[in-house]
């Protein structure tokens, strides 16, 4: 089955700096890659997703890049704000629509 690895497990940045979280996957059949943000005690919320037919997608301060050849994808957050502090999960999905999640990155934005 699919194996998704996520790095780093913790990340601290100064407010206004950029944050980058990286994920790799093992199954070349995976073709949908969502990113979820989970605040303490709350449900995971989709923040951005990318499909295998594009290499990059941007939504305001958030962007995701995908390299299908290398089987890795990354989340980029620019101009970070304290409210960006949360745990971020990447996921990969293939033919069966079963999502395989990474182990999460705890992001802290220091004011």
Partner 1 sequence: ETGVTQSPTHLIKTRGQQVTLRCSSQSGHNTVSWYQQALGQGPQFIFQYYREEENGRGNFPPRFSGLQFPNYSSELNVNALELDDSALYLCASSSNPRAQETQYFGPGTRLLVL
Residues at the interface with partner 1 (CB under 8 A):
1, 4, 6, 31-32, 34, 36, 42-46, 49, 51, 89, 91, 93, 95-104
* For partner 1, the closer CB: 43 or 60: 43
> Whole-number minimum distance, CB 32 to partner 1, in Å?
3
Cα separation, 61 vs 41, in Å, equals: 24
> Whole-number minimum distance, CB 15 to partner 1, in Å?
25
CB 48 within 8 A of CB 35: yes
* For partner 1, the closer CB: 66 or 102: 102
What is residue 103's three-state secondary structure?
coil
Q: What is the DSSP string of 44-92?
A: -EEEEEEETT-SEEEETTEEEEEETTTTEEEEEE-S--GGG-EEEEEEE
> Whole-number minimum distance, CB 65 to partner 1, in Å?
18
> Whole-number minimum distance, CB 37 to partner 1, in Å?
11
* For partner 1, the closer CB: 7 or 78: 7
* For partner 1, the closer CB: 51 or 61: 51
CB 104 within 8 A of CB 8: no
């Amino acid at each position: 089955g699919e194996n998704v690895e996520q790095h780093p497990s913790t990340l601290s940045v100064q407010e206004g700096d950029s944050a980058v979280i990286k994920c790799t996957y093992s199954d070349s059949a995976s073709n949908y890659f969502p990113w979820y943000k989970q605040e303490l005690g709350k449900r995971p919320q989709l923040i951005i997703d990318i499909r295998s037919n594009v290499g990059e997608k941007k939504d305001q301060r958030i962007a995701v890049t995908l390299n299908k050849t290398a089987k890795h994808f990354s989340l980029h957050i620019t101009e970070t704000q304290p409210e960006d502090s949360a745990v971020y999960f990447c996921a990969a999905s293939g033919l069966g629509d079963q999502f395989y999640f990474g182990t999460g990155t705890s992001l802290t934005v220091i004011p």
